[in-house]
C-alpha cells in the first residue's frame, strides 16, 4: 500500500508522522503475519527403570529432570516418560509403535541393561535395537541412542559383543550416540541406591548434567525438522 504525502501548507511533521503510523496499521491489518510460533518440541524418553525413575519421586525421574534442565536453558520442550521398569529390548520393540502415538519430535532410546543383567545373547538386543532404529528412521524421527555396558560376570566375549552393538548400530543408522547412560554414576555409592544399580535423584541429576549437550543437539535437529515440515506445508 503506497501512501503519498503532499507538501501542503500547514502540514506539520507531527501530522505527517501520525499519518505514516496509521498507514502502517492499515497495511498490517490487510496483510497479517501468517508465521505461527514454534510449538514445544516433544521428546519421548523410551527406556527401562533407569528412565522410568525406579526408587525416586516422579519429579526426580530422568524425563522430569531433563525437561527442567532444558527449560532452564531456554528450550520449549515436553519430555514424555516412556520408561517401563524391567523392560528388555524385546519388550521395548513390542511397545514402540504405540509409544509413538502421538508421534513425538524426537526419541531418546535407553534400553539394554536388563538384557545384559539376564545374560541374553547380545544378538537378541542388537536385532531389537536395529529394528527400533529402522522404524524411527522410516518415520523421520530424530534419535539419540544411549549405550549400556555389560557386567563382567558373563565373560570377556559377552562384554565385548554387547558393548560393541551400540556404536555399530549408531554408525549404521547415522544417529548420535551417548556411549554410556550411567557415565559418572555407575558403581558410585554417592549416586546410587542401596541396590547399587539404580541412581538416586542426585544420580539422575548427574546423568542429566552429562547428557544435556547431546540432548540439546537433539532438540536442535527436531526444531530443524519442524521448520522443514512447516515450510513444506502449503
Angle in degrees, 0-180, between the axes of helices 123-138 and 89-99, rounded to the nearest 10? 10
Query: Is position 49 annotated as part of the catalytic site?
Result: yes
Q: How far is CA 199 from CA 50, 110, 145, in A?
A: 7, 14, 19
Selecting among 48, 61, 163, 198, the annotated active-site residue is: 198
Q: Are strands 77-83 and 41-47 parallel, antiparallel or unpaired?
A: parallel
Q: Which residues of the chain have pLDDT under 70?
A: 1-38, 231-234
75 is catalytic: no
Q: Is 87 a catalytic residue?
A: no
**pLDDT single digits (tens) 80-137:** 999 999 999 999 999 999 999 999 999 999 999 999 999 999 999 999 999 999 999 9
Helix (H, G, I), strand (E, B) or coil at 56: coil
Q: Which of 49, 87, 105, 115 is catalytic?
A: 49
pLDDT at site 37: 56
Q: Model-level pTM?
A: 0.83
Amino acid at each position: 500500500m503506497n501512501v503519498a504525502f503532499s507538501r501542503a501548507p500547514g502540514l506539520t511533521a507531527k501530522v505527517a508522522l501520525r499519518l505514516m503510523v496509521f498507514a502502517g496499521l492499515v497495511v498490517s491489518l490487510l496483510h497479517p503475519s501468517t508465521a505461527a510460533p514454534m510449538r514445544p518440541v516433544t521428546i519421548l524418553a523410551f527406556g527401562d527403570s533407569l528412565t522410568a525413575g525406579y526408587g525416586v519421586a516422579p519429579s526426580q525421574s530422568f524425563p522430569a529432570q531433563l525437561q527442567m534442565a532444558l527449560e532452564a536453558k531456554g528450550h520449549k520442550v515436553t519430555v514424555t516418560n516412556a520408561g517401563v521398569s524391567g523392560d528388555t529390548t524385546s519388550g521395548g520393540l513390542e511397545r514402540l509403535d504405540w509409544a509413538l502415538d502421538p508421534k513425538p519430535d524426537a526419541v531418546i532410546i535407553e534400553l539394554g541393561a536388563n538384557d545384559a543383567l539376564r545374560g541374553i545373547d547380545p544378538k537378541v538386543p542388537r536385532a531389537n535395537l536395529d529394528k527400533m532404529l529402522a522404524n524411527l528412521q522410516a518415520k523421520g524421527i530424530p534419535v539419540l541412542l544411549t549405550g549400556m555396558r555389560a557386567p563382567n560376570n558373563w565373560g570377556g566375549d559377552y562384554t565385548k559383543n554387547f558393548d560393541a552393538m551400540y556404536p555399530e548400530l549408531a554408525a549404521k543408522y547415522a544417529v548420535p550416540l551417548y556411549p554410556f547412560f550411567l557415565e559418572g554414576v555407575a558403581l558410585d555409592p554417592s549416586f546410587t541406591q542401596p541396590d547399587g544399580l539404580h541412581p538416586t535423584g542426585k544420580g539422575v541429576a548427574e546423568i542429566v548434567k552429562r547428557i544435556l549437550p547431546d540432548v540439546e543437539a537433539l532438540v536442535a535437529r527436531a526444531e530443524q525438522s519442524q521448520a522443514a515440515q512447516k515450510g513444506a506445508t502449503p
